[in-house]
Amino acid sequence: MSVAAIVVAGGRGERFGGLKQFAELHGRTLASLSVERCREVAEHVVLVVPSTYSGDGEGADVVIHGGTTRSESVRAGLAVCGDADIIVVHDAVRPNASRALFLRVVEEVRHGAAAAIPGIAVTDTIKTVHGGIVTGTPRREELVAVQTPQAFRASVLSAAHMSEASATDDAALVEAIGEEVHVVLGESGNFKVTEQVDLLRLQREVRS
């Protein structure tokens, strides 16, 4: 089964103070590192960038402009994934995902899952809140914090995006069409660079 990857690098980085996906780590942009990570499983890598992008492609096979939302950007990437059987979607700002993690989600789909996502156990108590008032306390044992890379049967991901709905990750769109999403073990080191402090942590943890 052939694999294509979409690296989502279209964000504005408002909390970071700039385009965090193109911040540098040991002389490489986060986006280029994420593209390289996707090469562990994918024969074809698409990079989705902001309209203002003027870089060299970060090592991707195809570079395409994204939309105003994450879901729009993924749909733009989907349109240039060719006839791949499996699509991996990965955040450009998670450059520390391991080869083993990419293999876990892809192999889950190869073995029959419609979708596979990494998750790590939640250790904090989580509250649901409305108008500043707590409305509930979900059971911590039933919660996971979700990461990328996420892998999907191409036909399932395409069907999920046909509604042109938006969500914070593609798995939510797949859930919405009634498909099962399998969860594999995520990695604590596979954190998302959101603020400057996250980049500093990454610099400490990742050697050049």
Query: How does pLDDT run across 64-107, given as a tens digit for each residue?
Result: 999 999 999 999 999 999 999 999 999 999 999 999 999 999 99
**Which pLDDT value is given to residue 159?**
96
* Per-residue confidence band for 10, with pLDDT thresholds at 50, 70 and 90: confident
**Which pLDDT value is given to residue 122?**
93
Query: How does pLDDT run across 14-44, given as a tens digit for each residue?
Result: 555 568 889 888 889 999 999 999 999 999 9
The CATH number given to whatever domain includes residue 201 is 3.90.550.10
Give the residue numbers spanning the domain of 74: 3-205
Closest CA to 39 of 7, 82, 76: 7
Please, what is the average pLDDT of the chain?
93
* pTM for this model (two decimals): 0.93
Tokens of 88: 């991996």
* Per-residue confidence band for 203, with pLDDT thresholds at 50, 70 and 90: confident
Query: How does pLDDT run across 106-155, given as a tens digit for each residue?
Result: 999 999 999 999 999 999 999 999 999 999 999 999 999 999 999 999 99
In DSSP terms, which residues pair with 29 in a beta bridge? Answer: 24
**Which pLDDT value is given to residue 50?**
92
Q: What is d(CA 22, CA 103) in angstroms, rounded to the nearest whole number?
A: 25
Tokens of 72: 């729009």
Query: Is residue 69 a contact partner of residue 75, using CB atoms and an 8 Å limit?
Result: no
Number of domains in the chain: 1
**Which pLDDT value is given to residue 206?**
74
Instruction: Give the count of beta carbons closer than 10 Å to the beta carbon of residue 66.
Output: 24
**Which pLDDT value is given to residue 47?**
98
End-to-end CA distance of the chain: 33
**Which pLDDT value is given to residue 16?**
59
Tokens of 5: 């990857």
**Which pLDDT value is given to residue 19?**
81
Interhelix angle 154-161/70-78, nearest 10 degrees: 130
pLDDT over 70 (residue 208):
no
